[in-house]
Chain A
Amino acid sequence: MRYVISLFLLVLVVSCHKEPIETVVPESLSNGFLVLNEGLFQQNNSSISWVDNQNAAVNADFFLSKNNRLLGDTGNDMQIYGGKIYVVVNGSSSLEVLEKSTGKSLKQINMFVGNTAKSPRSITFHGNKAFISCYDGFVDVLDTTSLSIVQRIQVASNPEGLAVSNGKLFVANSGGLNFPNVDSTLSVIDLTTYQEIQKITVGKNPGSVIVDQEGDIYVIARGNYGSNPSRMVRVNAINLVVEEQFPFDALGFARMNDNFLITFYNYSTQSSAVRLFDPLSETLLNSNLINTSDIQTLYGVSYNPHNDKIYCLDAMNFTNTGYVRRYSSQGVYETSYHVGLNPSKILFYE
């Protein structure tokens, strides 16, 4: 009996593990990059990692160490505009505005209509306004000086990616929560009146939106995850007509100087591809720029103009912590950084 009790107590003592020491985060950020890790929904474990280029040290809880609180549930987008970083947190239905140079919180904006979460997804900017797509069917307009929401613009269901071209805002209406009856339109919003002026049909389940040097709008219509494949379409900036659907699979994209890096992940074969695309000539320069054999699940890509490197985000199996994998601009693997759960966005510092 005595033995049982002492074992029981011993066990309780042994179970109190020591916590490992966190790497120090610099007061002022430079020569490195921030990674937004989405986390897993319902677990409040979205995080931001800071990676120091010099010594490759990773601070896995950058947001927490700067702000003494957690980022929240499912961070979906992170962008720099002006001197600020904007982090869109979907599950927590909040927008975190941070000081660019330090990562310290300037304001947390809770996005609700009454008690109903707006569920923000993505953010883009124009002039002194930020536009945030919200899953409840609206785009919120934020004044980047006063950091308050000044207007809501109604679009269609479950808007995702957005981009600005020629004084207009283009918003992809995914309708993802009506699966399989998804949406297939792109809302066009006049940025002088903040009114939707048109809807363009681009293909089923549109997601990411990007604009090229000429102002043409590229949208990824993700199809139905089955017979209807995920493809990129181009909308003419002037006449707002869908001019082309490209014949290669595409899921996401990022700018690399004047070109696009286009990513694709095949769910059934679990293979990844990073393509190089020239939007001026509208030709695919390389359909496999990177040897992706080191990547388990390609979850995003970014190009760093400061050091001319490509960074691929590897979500592993979605439930294990992910990696940022660095390649030369020619696509040669260089190194990996171990970051948080489901890394999806990256911001570079000179």
Chain B
Amino acid sequence: MKSSTTLFFFMICGLSFGQVIDQQLPEVKVTDISTEVIKVIRLEDRISILKRAAILELQAEDVGQLLQKMEGVQVKSYGGLGGMKTISVRGIGGQHTQLIIDGFAVSQDQSGQINLGQIQTENVESVSMLSGKSSFYLSPASSYAAGNVLSISTFENTFSNVKNELRLTQKIGSFGQTDSYLGYKHSTDKWFFAASGKYRMANGEYPFSVRNGSATYEGVRSNNHYQDANGVFSISRNFNNRSKAFISYRTWYSNQELPGAVILYNDHSVQTLSQLSHRIQSSYSFQLKQIRLHTFAVATISNMEYADSSYLNAAGGMFSEYINKSVNTGVNAFYSKGNGWQYSGGTEQQMSLLESTMMSVNSPIRQHNFSFVSVKHLGRIFRATAQLSSQYVLDHSAINKSSEFHVNPFVQLETKEYGKRENLEFYTFYRNSFRMPSFNELYYNNIGNLDLLPEKVNQFAIGAQHKHIKGKLNVRSKLNLYYNLVANKIVAVPTKNLFIWSMQNVGKVQVLGFDISTDIYLKFSDKSFVNSIVNYTFQSVIDVTDNTSPTYRHQVAYLPVHSGNWDVSYHFKRHGIRSSIYANSLRYSLNENTLGNKVDGFILADLSVFTSFAIKKHELRLQFSCKNILNTSYAYVRYYVMPGRNYLLSLNYALRY
């Protein structure tokens, strides 16, 4: 019953998680072990997904921290609350990952990728990473064209089966951190409305140590204050279960100091960055005979101001402002007669404009059209998907006009449950995709290059997943093997001297990787269970640009060959304990794999205890975490030091009636 209700909501909502449900259906017959299993991290049909219970248990500050728990994903963090966090998925840069929040694509034309350190988790219901899948049901066409898809679903933008829900979160952590979140949602069969607000701050003054020859430099991170605030208001109307309208407004503000790399003998920094954005998004879904249609429109304006008063120019500092305006509109259609054939298609038009004195041109504009058609056949033995996506991009400014048109294929073949107990599945896929150079890469003063070509990616993968369910034991394992090729890789290279860099299409990168993950769920009694999730990722990501280069076949900068996670949690009644370990092997700060460029691997361990109480309609959850319990001194990016052992206490209150 629960599954069908959820399915109902997803179908009606037309939001991003339809396909998850669609593929969960065959599992219903075997997933009667417990509903708790769904609450923790699990392997769901090759989608790496983290749901609210796991997100709470991990006490992650942001989506960047959550993604590190997923196999195949490498996170690069510059440290501190709100600090820059970017990802690479299966050895491919984060610019190839389309971010979708509540079913709406987030435009990333300005910088090419989103700072995942600024997407918070308080209101996140689930985070899913899709590598080598078509995309989510009725998602924007841009996600069908992207190399990978990261989808986030939030509390404010989803229907709920609770009429009134109030959520309050208060966190207190080391280094002056406080977070407050208040959210309310009223939901009925016909409509919901939700409103929330969030504020967080930290002084970020954490102690660190870096090795300097035989000595150790001990310091305290300075110029690392951070604060942000956001507000969301959304409303949705469900008409006769056949059509649905949704509109939401979101505003977001941040003000942060940028500590930069720790420079030996000169550890002072005064840079600051502040950002303000407004976003309105709306959608309307309806049924036209057997066709499900979904239309949407999004408008965003964001303003970013950067200041460096230590810059030694005549103006007495570097002060720059960037205003990015974008509009997305689109329509999707889904048709299925229930005879095993599913057809979908869609188009999305994005327009983006950037205004800044830091650009070599005034107000460059990009018009980007994404379209796709996809056919899926659910056969007796195989499930096959074939998809074509097209992109037409028109970039123009006062001094240039260029256009790109590409059609990219995606094909996938999956077996249905195989074997005596129907517990084994195989898949293979091929995807060809590309990403456009960002505005910064094209136009940034002195660095940008108008002649840049799109960066192209070919992805091939095969994999399998296995389920073992016996009595109180539920074990799910999956294996992915992939071979990816990146051509025309866009990289910043110094051209005139050390200080004058420029963007160039210079790289060819070959990725050979595999990851294995196992999720074990062992139920002792109705009151207690243990869950253990292990994953290991191997990624050989090598530079194959030029066989005469000193970096030929060297591992690409900042990507570890080995990385992995091991999370174990024990739940007893409403109490629990969770240990979370992440480890990665050495990386290099530049593409040349020399001793001088070595950045040490590290192991991070977090431990948390949690408990909750429920009195009538009130629920109170309390969690205490010790993060980096081993007090490891580490960095993702050379000299961007990360905090040592630190603590976080959080209190979640929910009222449901």
In the bound assembly, the distance between CA atoms of A157 and B317 in angstroms comes to 13
Q: Does B263 contact A (CB under 8 A)?
A: yes
Q: Which residues of B contact A112 (CB under 8 A)?
A: 266, 268
Least CB separation from B475: chain A residue: A1
**When the two chains form their complex, are residues B314 and A178 in contact, meaning their CB atoms are under 8 A apart?**
yes
Q: Which of A69, A92, A158, A175 has the most CB of B within 10 A?
A: A69
Least CB separation from A222: chain B residue: B496
Least CB separation from A181: chain B residue: B314
| Cross-interface CB contact of B498 among A41, A177, A321, cutoff 8 Å | A41
User: Nearest chain A CB to B563's CB is how many angstroms away?
Assistant: 9
Q: Does A197 contact B (CB under 8 A)?
A: no
Known A-B contacts A157-B312, A320-B550, A320-B590; the reply to A4 vs B536 at CB < 8 A is yes
In the bound assembly, the distance between CA atoms of A42 and B566 in angstroms comes to 33
Least CB separation from A15: chain B residue: B585
**When the two chains form their complex, are residues B314 and A157 in contact, meaning their CB atoms are under 8 A apart?**
yes
1/0 contact string of B519-534 vs chain A (CB within 8 Å): 0100000000000101
Binds B, one of A113-121, A186-194, A255-263, A281-289: A113-121
Q: Which residues of A contact B516 (CB under 8 A)?
A: 4, 7
Q: Which residues of B contact A47 (CB under 8 A)?
A: 596
Q: Which residues of A contact B261 (CB under 8 A)?
A: 42-44
Least CB separation from A11: chain B residue: B562
1/0 contact string of A174-212 vs chain B (CB within 8 Å): 010111010000000000000000000000000000000
1/0 contact string of A45-80 vs chain B (CB within 8 Å): 101000000000000110010011110111000000
**When the two chains form their complex, are residues B266 and A117 in contact, meaning their CB atoms are under 8 A apart?**
yes
Q: Does B375 contact A (CB under 8 A)?
A: no
Known A-B contacts A8-B564, A11-B562, A40-B498; the reply to A92 vs B263 at CB < 8 A is yes
Q: Does B572 contact A (CB under 8 A)?
A: no
Q: Does B118 contact A (CB under 8 A)?
A: no
Known A-B contacts A1-B534, A318-B498, A340-B596; the reply to A64 vs B213 at CB < 8 A is yes
Q: Does B608 contact A (CB under 8 A)?
A: no
Q: Which residues of B contact A31 (CB under 8 A)?
A: none
Q: Which of B261, B262, B266, B538 has the most CB of A within 10 A?
A: B266
**When the two chains form their complex, are residues B592 and A320 in contact, meaning their CB atoms are under 8 A apart?**
yes
User: Nearest chain B CB to A229's CB is how many angstroms away?
Assistant: 13
1/0 contact string of B295-315 vs chain A (CB within 8 Å): 000000000000000111111
Q: Which residues of A contact B583 (CB under 8 A)?
A: 8, 12
Q: Which residues of B contact A342 (CB under 8 A)?
A: 498
Known A-B contacts A1-B518, A4-B518, A47-B596; the reply to A12 vs B603 at CB < 8 A is yes
User: Nearest chain B CB to A268's CB is how many angstroms away?
Assistant: 9
Q: Does B632 contact A (CB under 8 A)?
A: no
Q: Which of B262, B498, B586, B590 has the most CB of A within 10 A?
A: B498
User: Nearest chain A CB to B400's CB is how many angstroms away?
Assistant: 17
**When the two chains form their complex, are residues A157 and B550 in contact, meaning their CB atoms are under 8 A apart?**
no
In the bound assembly, the distance between CA atoms of A70 and B214 in angstroms comes to 9
**When the two chains form their complex, are residues B499 and A70 in contact, meaning their CB atoms are under 8 A apart?**
no
Q: Which residues of B contact A321 (CB under 8 A)?
A: 550, 592, 594, 596
Q: Does A108 contact B (CB under 8 A)?
A: yes
Q: Which residues of A contact B463 (CB under 8 A)?
A: none
**When the two chains form their complex, are residues A319 and B494 in contact, meaning their CB atoms are under 8 A apart?**
yes
**When the two chains form their complex, are residues A92 and B498 in contact, meaning their CB atoms are under 8 A apart?**
no
1/0 contact string of A142-183 vs chain B (CB within 8 Å): 000000000000000110000000000000000101110100
Q: Which residues of A contact B586 (CB under 8 A)?
A: 15, 17
Q: Does B500 contact A (CB under 8 A)?
A: yes
Known A-B contacts A17-B586, A319-B591, A321-B592; the reply to A175 vs B314 at CB < 8 A is yes
**When the two chains form their complex, are residues A11 and B265 in contact, meaning their CB atoms are under 8 A apart?**
no
| Cross-interface CB contact of B596 among A5, A69, A341, cutoff 8 Å | A341
Q: Which residues of A contact B561 (CB under 8 A)?
A: 15
Q: Which residues of B contact A318 (CB under 8 A)?
A: 493-494, 497-498
| Cross-interface CB contact of B265 among A15, A64, A94, cutoff 8 Å | A94
Q: Which residues of B contact A61 (CB under 8 A)?
A: 596
Q: Does B644 contact A (CB under 8 A)?
A: no
In the bound assembly, the distance between CA atoms of A191 and B289 in angstroms comes to 92
Q: Which residues of B contact A135 (CB under 8 A)?
A: 312
Interface size bucket, B side? Answer: 35 or more
Q: Which residues of A contact B213 (CB under 8 A)?
A: 64, 67-70
1/0 contact string of B533-568 vs chain A (CB within 8 Å): 010101000000000011100000000011010100
Q: Does A136 contact B (CB under 8 A)?
A: yes
**When the two chains form their complex, are residues B264 and A44 in contact, meaning their CB atoms are under 8 A apart?**
yes
Q: Which residues of B contact A88 (CB under 8 A)?
A: none
**When the two chains form their complex, are residues B550 and A92 in contact, meaning their CB atoms are under 8 A apart?**
no
**When the two chains form their complex, are residues B592 and A73 in contact, meaning their CB atoms are under 8 A apart?**
no
Q: Does B330 contact A (CB under 8 A)?
A: no
Q: Which of B307-334 contact A (CB under 8 A)?
A: 310-315
| Cross-interface CB contact of A72 among B264, B310, B597, B603, cutoff 8 Å | B264
**When the two chains form their complex, are residues A43 and B595 in contact, meaning their CB atoms are under 8 A apart?**
no
In the bound assembly, the distance between CA atoms of A101 and B133 in angstroms comes to 65
Q: Which residues of B contact A14 (CB under 8 A)?
A: 562, 585
Q: Does B495 contact A (CB under 8 A)?
A: yes
| Cross-interface CB contact of A158 among B266, B312, B497, cutoff 8 Å | B312
Q: Which residues of A contact B498 (CB under 8 A)?
A: 38, 40-41, 74, 318, 342
Q: Does B215 contact A (CB under 8 A)?
A: yes
Q: Which of B578-618 contact A (CB under 8 A)?
A: 583, 585-586, 589-592, 594-597, 601, 603
In the bound assembly, the distance between CA atoms of A175 and B311 in angstroms comes to 12
Least CB separation from A299: chain B residue: B497
1/0 contact string of A1-42 vs chain B (CB within 8 Å): 100110110011011010110000000000000000010111
Q: Which residues of A contact B549 (CB under 8 A)?
A: 317, 320
Q: Does A103 contact B (CB under 8 A)?
A: no
Q: Does B212 contact A (CB under 8 A)?
A: yes
**When the two chains form their complex, are residues A69 and B215 in contact, meaning their CB atoms are under 8 A apart?**
yes
Q: Which residues of B contact A341 (CB under 8 A)?
A: 596
Q: Does A237 contact B (CB under 8 A)?
A: no
**When the two chains form their complex, are residues B493 and A319 in contact, meaning their CB atoms are under 8 A apart?**
yes
Q: Which of A94-119 contact B (CB under 8 A)?
A: 94, 108, 110, 112, 115-117, 119
Binding site for A on B (CB under 8 A): 212-215, 260-266, 268, 310-315, 446, 475, 493-500, 516, 518, 520, 532, 534, 536, 538, 549-551, 561-562, 564, 566, 583, 585-586, 589-592, 594-597, 601, 603, 638-639
Binding site for B on A (CB under 8 A): 1, 4-5, 7-8, 11-12, 14-15, 17, 19-20, 38, 40-45, 47, 60-61, 64, 67-70, 72-74, 89, 91-94, 108, 110, 112, 115-117, 119, 135-137, 157-158, 175, 177-179, 181, 225, 267, 316-321, 340-342
Q: A70-B212, A91-B263, A158-B313 are in contact. List 10 more A-B contacts (CB 8 A).
A: A1-B475, A42-B639, A45-B596, A69-B215, A72-B263, A72-B264, A91-B266, A136-B312, A157-B313, A318-B494
Q: Shortest 4 CB-CB distances between A and B: which pairs?
A: A15-B585, A318-B494, A69-B213, A92-B265
In the assembled complex, 18 residue pairs joining A and B whose CB atoms fall closer than 8 Å, in A order, are A4-B518, A11-B562, A12-B585, A14-B585, A41-B498, A41-B499, A44-B639, A45-B596, A68-B214, A69-B214, A70-B213, A72-B265, A72-B266, A74-B498, A112-B266, A115-B268, A117-B268, A267-B495
